[in-house]
Chain A
Amino acid sequence: MSEHKHKSFREENGSYKGVFAWIFSTDHKRIGLLYLYAIVSFFLIGVLLGALMKLELMAPGKTVIDPATYNAIFTLHGVIMIFLVVVPGLPAVFGNFLLPIMIGAKDVAFPKLNLLSWWIYVFGAIIALSSLFMGGGPPDTGWTFYAPYAFKTNTNMLPAVLGAFILGFSSILTGINFIVTIHRLRAPGMTWFKMPLFPWTLYGTGWIQILATPIVGITLLMIVGERVLNIGFFDPALGGDPILYQHLFWIYSHPAVYIMILPAMGAISEIIPTFANKSIFGYKAIVISTLAIAFVGYFVWGHHMFTSGMSGTALYTFSLLTFLVAIPSAIKVFNWVGTLHKASIQLETPFFWAASFLFVFMIGGLSGLALGALATNVHLHDTAFVVAHFHFIVFGGVGFAFMGAIHYWFPKIWGRMYNSKLATSGWIIFFIGFCTLYLPMFFLGVTGMPRRYYDYVEKFHGPNIVSTIGSWVLILGLIIIIYNLIRSAYKGEKADKNPWGGRTLEWTVDSPPTLENFDEIPVVNRSPYDYRKNLES
């Protein structure tokens, strides 16, 4: 038995061999990594599509692709990045891997369901991507599948919509699993307010997954009904209201932004105290703001539809609620900055990612207020400004947090260290590329360049060239980062249990963890970010 104990989860195969030992494994850590490999693959496809769009926009007129292909590419870029990458991104990868360890459990509450949700994810992804290869061509409606495009277009809408519907199921099952795990499997002594912040954000995320995803599920089913049975829910010619589609779609898809960003905030809340060597500032404020974001975020969907012709009352309400939801986000930023105040900071790669997260998240958040105000929204609606805004939040926020998280937990997951210098240079190139790529789009938007346009007038040429060059720099940074991580997973130095000096439970187990994480379930009797000296004694 004792020999057994020190085997890591990567070596313990169970009853299957080779790749089957992974794809049939109910171990939360293996499932987390399965998600990671799938998500990174889809992410790279999405990046390539994005780069292709930028290449097309390098000069006015047709450069590399024709307009119809451009429409298909921005749709696929959106569908892949939203439904396949960022929505499952942090919760499914790091949530699965770390949630049980961080709360002192041996696995999630329903391990088989967990494996099932990965399979559903893969199945949904295959269905969604099959729209590329079937006759009729890939969908060209944009990832929002707006009515009436969605039932007027002759492209392969059905697989894309059904794929998104199936992916929703996977998301719901993950949410159910996490909530039950957090309710039932916290280690003895870990009260709600002794739980680390990453699990807290997963808890908030889980609720949004459960309560918002079904709405988009039924909406997508109605689109299917519309196309197959000609029911007329959203077709004005049959009495339906296309605006109602927008309502239903955004009732999910706005909270979905919080499915993406909450775990990102959680990861940042883990990284910052570790590298500041200091307890997090305002733990309870962060917890409460997490729940507040999850709750208020459910009622702000209308700010995507300010120019759709909604009633004035609805406009004011949604604008007010949008401003309200900015408050808890700002509270978190103050807390992170407060944690860094007078701290002795360890300058390591994960910290650089966290610090740059604060920078880009602030820009993204503040530009969001410009869009949430009714008057400025009229000017900025559907321009490149919006694209820049949500890339700063979704790519800048979630993407940077994901990068930070993978550099932070890398030693725990693979049991090896990466080359720190290479990782840091990858970060700085990526960061410069990111800003060069998206900052010009703010200016383009303010001066009037619409989003989703394949062509533009000569006066937008300058910023577009800068933006395209930025996309190349970003990809260069990405290549360095991925090369470094893959190489280090095989050849890096062995890491010990706690290379960064973290205080949460995952740093008390082996790197990589054993199959059951803990030899003995720990008893928790201190707050999660207790940085007092002589803790172990």
Chain B
Amino acid sequence: MNKHTENHVVPYSLYIYVLAGLLLLTMLSVGVTHIELANLTVFTAILLASIKSCLVLVFFMHLKFDNRILQILVTAVFILVALVLFITFLDYNYR
């Protein structure tokens, strides 16, 4: 297992690129608040945040280089949270 991680010493440059991407997305999400998107405001903000969090999970948190089980588990946890949120809203949305 040790070998496994040693084989994947992530080059510094990759982190720099990812950071640049994250900063760009941050600026973008601040920028779009000046545009009137009406109902889409919340959606855009959440979407951009989701993309950013994916970048953090995949590169900073090394999921890209980790084994399959971990990748599945992380995805499953996020799906679980989404389902709980969805079911809770079944109450509030239709009350």
Contact = CB atoms under 8 A, between A and B. Distances in A.
A247 interface: yes
Contact of A311 (B80, B84, B93): B93
Interface of A: 183, 211, 243, 247, 251, 298-299, 302, 309-314, 317
B87 A311 contact: no
A243 B84 CA distance: 16
Interface residues of B, number: 13
Nearest to B89: A314
Given A310-B95, A311-B95, A211 B80 contact: yes
Given A251-B84, A299-B83, A211 B91 contact: no
A311 B94 contact: yes
Contact of A247 (B77, B80, B88): B88
Contact of A317 (B80, B84, B90, B92): B90
A270 B20 CA distance: 56
The 5 closest A-B pairs by CB, nearest first: A311-B94, A314-B91, A313-B94, A311-B95, A314-B90
Interface in B44-95: 69, 77, 80, 83-84, 87-88, 90-95
Given A251-B84, A313-B90, 6 more contacts: A183-B69, A211-B80, A299-B84, A309-B95, A313-B94, A317-B90
Chain B contact surface mostly: helix
Interface of B: 69, 77, 80, 83-84, 87-88, 90-95
Contacts of B92: 311
B73 to A, nearest CB: 9
Chain A contact surface mostly: helix
A313 B87 CA distance: 10
15 contacts: A211-B77, A251-B84, A298-B80, A299-B83, A299-B84, A299-B87, A302-B87, A302-B91, A310-B91, A311-B93, A312-B94, A314-B87, A314-B90, A317-B87, A317-B90
A318 to B, nearest CB: 8
A183 B1 CA distance: 14
A211 B87 CA distance: 16
Contacts of B91: 243, 247, 302, 310-311, 313-314
A298 B88 CA distance: 12
